[in-house]
Amino acid sequence: MKSKKTYKEIPLLLSKALLGTLSEEEKRVLQQWRDESPENEQLYECEMNAEYMVQKSQEVSRVNIVNGYMNVLQKRKRNVRVRRIRRVVSIAAGVVLPLLTVVLWYETRGKTGDVPEQVASVIQHGGVKAELVLADGTTRILSSEVTDSLLVQQGANIVVQNQGVSYRVDSSVVEERYNMLRVPRGGEYSITLSDGTIVYLNSESELRYPVNFVGRDRRVYLSGEAYFDVTQNKEHPFIVEMKNSVVRVLGTSFDVRAYADEDEVLTTLVQGVVRFSAGKESVVLEPGKQAILDKLGRIETREVDTYLYTAWKEGVFAFKKQRLEEIMKVVSRWYDVNIFWENVSQKEVTFTGKMKRYDDFSKIVEMLEMTGNTEFVIKKNNIFIREK
């Protein structure tokens, strides 16, 4: 069995990788280190995905690494009675350095390895699941384990597969009957409507829709968040109603977020054209634009990176200078946890980075604790957030 080498230069190589200044020989050494263990590769991906660390790496010369590292060790000894999920820490007023990150990762890897497993046994990520409510009130629980089944409803065949449900209807049926798809906290599900439109529902969301679209409009009702890939039909506009607002489209892709416990309704256009309306106000959106309806009924528009608002559909959490309070709303729905703020000031901490939705909760915490002076204490399904 080949013995693993000790790569003392890895912290420097990671910093240079972030800055894009690796030589060919350094690339070879770094790749050899990555190939030696899954843990090494995990750390590498974590470093490369944290976008703000590129900027912070350039500040390495202005930080006293030795003093910072010793301060961290002293703090760890003072808090040894508190078992936490933290493998990386921040120093120098929130500046996260790859060099210190790697040193502490090696130092804590063996000591805290059992903690993520303990948390993972309690807090599970979400999955493919929903509840289908038929027009007659009959309910059917759907999940990734329910595959290739058929539900027969008057005028329609409902096909259930491992990732979603789809409708195949008799076009001669003119009676408009509604079904409902409910996705709980910790769930996601997709549905293909009778016109071919695909809707991806996020956690804690509900879609009410007709089995077969009858009349001029194709109208559905949404609570929560969904991504729509609408089949084009100029003669029959597609309409989404949610929380005192309406989105009208012909054929397009967009994300709508309208949770009952949030003050704003967001509509983010990926492609096509939509009209967003609320009361007497309305705006027409172009791709890359977002409409925001505030709690006073006012509509504003802004240009956004649409990926940040649609990445959840691809299995990713993506944030850019996002407040921790907003991030935890998203995370809590997916992992079905309760959030308690012991220090209200921590709500204003911002984070930039990407995280996989199907990762263990411990990895999400590790990334978020890199924001600076923030600590997560986990007690069963309750998350207490406080200042370190």
Q: What's residue 47's pLDDT? A: 67
Provide mean pLDDT across the span 251-259.
Answer: 94
**In a domain? residue 302:** no
Q: What is the CATH number of the domain that holds 252?
A: 2.60.120.1440
**In a domain? residue 229:** yes
Same domain, 202 and 221: no
Say yes or no to pLDDT of 355 above 50. yes
Same domain, 16 and 106: yes
Chosen domain end from 297, 326, 358 = 297
pTM reported for the whole predicted model: 0.69
- Res. 366 pLDDT band, cuts 50 70 90: confident
Bigger pLDDT: 320 or 41? 320
**In a domain? residue 305:** no
Q: What's residue 57's pLDDT? A: 42
Q: Kind of pairing, strands 238-242 and 218-229?
A: parallel
Provide mean pLDDT across the span 119-133.
Answer: 82
CB 288 within 8 A of CB 314: no
For residue 162, the enclosing domain spans 124-214
Q: What's residue 49's pLDDT? A: 62
Say yes or no to pLDDT of 86 above 90. no
> Cα-flanking dihedrals φ and ψ of residue 164, to 5°?
180, -175
Same domain, 221 and 208: no
**In a domain? residue 35:** yes
CB 87 within 8 A of CB 105: yes
Same domain, 325 and 374: yes
Chosen domain end from 172, 198, 214 = 214
Same domain, 338 and 351: yes
Among all chains, which residue has been given the structure tokens 């948390």? 119
Say yes or no to pLDDT of 154 above 90. no
Same domain, 207 and 151: yes
Q: What's residue 168's pLDDT? A: 86
Say yes or no to pLDDT of 172 above 80. no
Highest mean pLDDT among 43-57, 122-136, 270-284: 270-284
Q: What's residue 169's pLDDT? A: 83
SS (H, E, C) the chain: CCCCCCCCCHHHHHHHHHHCCCCHHHHHHHHHHHHCCHHHHHHHHHHHHCCHHHHHHCCHHHCCHHHHHHHHHHHHHHCCCCCCCCCCCCECCCECCHHHHHHHHHHHHCCCCHHHHHHHCCCCCCEEEEEEECCCCCEEEEECCCCCEEEEECCEEEEECCCEEEEEECCCCCCCCEEEEEECCCEEEEEECCCCCEEEECCCEEEEEECCCCCCCEEEEEEEEEEEECCCCCCCCEEEEECCEEEEECCCEEEEEECCCCCCEEEEEEECCEEEEECCEEEEECCCEEEEECCCCCEEEEECCCHHHHHHHHCEEEEEEEEHHHHHHHHHHHHCCEEEECCHHHHHCEEEEEEECCCCHHHHHHHHHHHCCEEEEEECCEEEEEEC
pLDDT in tens, 91-102: 333 334 444 444
Same domain, 94 and 161: no
Say yes or no to pLDDT of 276 above 80. yes
**In a domain? residue 348:** yes
Same domain, 19 and 103: yes
Percentage above 70 pLDDT, the chain: 76
Same domain, 97 and 133: no
Q: Kind of pairing, strands 127-133 and 139-143?
A: antiparallel
Say yes or no to pLDDT of 85 above 60. no
Q: What is the CATH number of the domain that holds 371?
A: 3.55.50.30
**In a domain? residue 304:** no
Say yes or no to pLDDT of 75 above 60. no
Number of domains forming the structure of the chain: 4
Mean pLDDT of all residues belonging to the chain: 80
d(CA 85, CA 123): 13
**In a domain? residue 310:** no
Same domain, 209 and 221: no
Q: What's residue 74's pLDDT? A: 45
Q: What's residue 60's pLDDT? A: 39
pLDDT in tens, 295-321: 999 999 999 999 999 999 999 999 999
Same domain, 233 and 266: yes
pLDDT in tens, 189-200: 999 999 999 999
Provide mean pLDDT across the span 87-91.
Answer: 35
Say yes or no to pLDDT of 58 above 90. no
Say yes or no to pLDDT of 342 above 60. yes
**In a domain? residue 303:** no
Say yes or no to pLDDT of 111 above 70. no
Chosen domain end from 112, 146, 171 = 112
Same domain, 76 and 16: yes
